[in-house]
Amino acid sequence: MVETNEGGHDGVLRFPEGFLFGTATAAHQVEGGNTNNDWWVFEHDSSSGCVESSGDACDSFHRWREDVALVADLGLKAYRFSVEWSRIEPSEGEWSIAMLDHYRRICAACVGRGIQPVVTLHHFTTPIWLSKRGGWESRDAPERFARFVARVVAHLGDLIGMACTINEPNIVSVMGYTLGEFPPGLKNELGRHRAVNEAMIRAHHLGVEALNSGPGDFPVGMTLAMSELVAEEGGEKMRDAARELMEDVFLRELRDDDFVGVQCYTRTRFGPRGTLGPEPGVAPTQMGYEYWPQVVEHTLRRAADVTGIPVVVTENGVATEDDKERVAYMRDALSGLHRCIEDQIDVRGYFAWSLMDNFEWNLGYRPKFGLCALDRETFERRPKPSAFFFGEVSKRGELVV
Ligand code: GCO
């Protein structure tokens, strides 16, 4: 159905010139063979609750050229990926020039195809040498991270389009120290959870400094997992506590950054004793949480409001076998984003999670977030209709609603 709305567009939502439509991956979820980080150890620990090993993942370590070509051929403007610390610094203070060259080649290929390389410096995984001495709880972890960042930027900073310091520090801490689903697999360790939040904030600030010392001149920010947090009857205190611990503690620290990366998927409801499951009548996705594309508009407004800086949706998507549902989800998500732009919120881009079906951490390969399907025997990537839909939106700079 074509609607005319008050903004004057005739069923067509136009995005501003230069708005970045992109897609995202993370090293451990797509590269394969990342045997030197804490996640590999965790996946292979039978008591961790992980359903399977990341194994070869999508073999992107070897097939990254195909990945970059796919992003470009679809008509997207940016590729967000992460560099794997445990490959670049395989043991403390030992640097792999070959690996730095590897990531430099990926950046160069992006630039060569006219797409922006958006580089994430830490996406959940920590080298074994650091996790052995306490990971983010180790006294000098922020300094060790900053030293790694400095090394990376010295090698490829001139090619970086945008940089994200730490991906979802709030998920690293909540999953690792409160819920026990990510390394180090601890539960209800609130004091340690808070300490890790603080360490990652310090690491972020040191990382920003390192990234800003060049070479290169590109926007730098943190990416944060955000949710639409709602209180049901009596759930206000729980909701507010979660908002502080999971979001505001970070958002308040980002006011001097170039942008804040919002990563959002769903809504979280709170009752007097904590989180509630999906509301009856709201369908769960393959992740078990609510199908809730409205989250994009909600979290963009909140992130912009609290930080006062430009916002980028650095991840959004849905885990489903039904690709039509993915198109519907993205359409709603992008419409909400567009309402933010109409309200003068400075939204700079939208990155679909993910380029292809990949390793969804403790849940293994079952959840399907990809714009492209992956054959796990041949590693063939096959674009789904949602990939072409999103590519069209990017090429035209507009969404037909
Ligand atoms: C994240 C995670 C991704 C997940 C995605 C879907 O940054 O949240 O980085 O690694 O795969 O969020 O759950």
The fold for domain 5-400 equals: TIM Barrel (3.20.20)
**Cβ of 353 less than 6 Å from ligand 1:** yes
> How far apart are the CA of 193 and the centre of ligand 1, in A?
19
What lies within 8 Å, CB to CB, of 159 at 6+ separation is 104, 107, 108, 110, 111, 117, 216
**Cβ of 38 less than 6 Å from ligand 1:** no
**Cβ of 120 less than 6 Å from ligand 1:** no
Q: Where are the domains of the chain?
A: 5-400
Protein residue whose Cα sits closest to atom 13 of ligand 1 = 360
Token pair belonging to 171: 């998920």
What lies within 8 Å, CB to CB, of 48 at 6+ separation is 42, 183, 185, 362
pTM of the model: 0.96
Pairwise CA distance, residues 351 & 316, whole Å: 7
Identify the CA nearest to 29 among candidates 347, 336, 360, 356: 360
**Cβ of 67 less than 6 Å from ligand 1:** no
> How far apart are the CA of 7 and the centre of ligand 1, in A?
34
Number of Cα atoms under 13 Å in the Cβ half of residue 120 = 27
* Angle separating helix axes 385-396 and 323-342, nearest 10 degrees: 20
**Cβ of 145 less than 6 Å from ligand 1:** no
Number of neighbours of residue 237 by Cβ within 10 angstroms: 11
Pairwise CA distance, residues 2 & 202, whole Å: 49
> How far apart are the CA of 314 and the centre of ligand 1, in A?
10
Is residue 52 part of the annotated active site? The answer reads no
Residue among 31, 84, 89, 168 flagged as catalytic: 168
Pairwise CA distance, residues 289 & 296, whole Å: 15
**Cβ of 358 less than 6 Å from ligand 1:** no
> How far apart are the CA of 171 and the centre of ligand 1, in A?
9
Q: Going residue by residue through the chain (401 aa), what tens digit of pLDDT does each one get?
A: 334 445 444 699 999 999 999 999 999 999 999 999 999 999 999 999 999 999 999 999 999 999 999 999 999 999 999 999 999 999 999 999 999 999 999 999 999 999 999 999 999 999 999 999 999 999 999 999 999 999 999 999 999 999 999 999 999 999 999 999 999 999 999 999 999 999 999 999 999 999 999 899 999 999 999 999 999 999 999 999 999 999 999 999 999 999 999 999 999 999 999 999 999 999 999 999 999 999 999 999 999 999 999 999 999 999 999 999 999 999 999 999 999 999 999 999 999 999 999 999 999 999 999 999 999 999 999 999 999 999 999 999 999 99
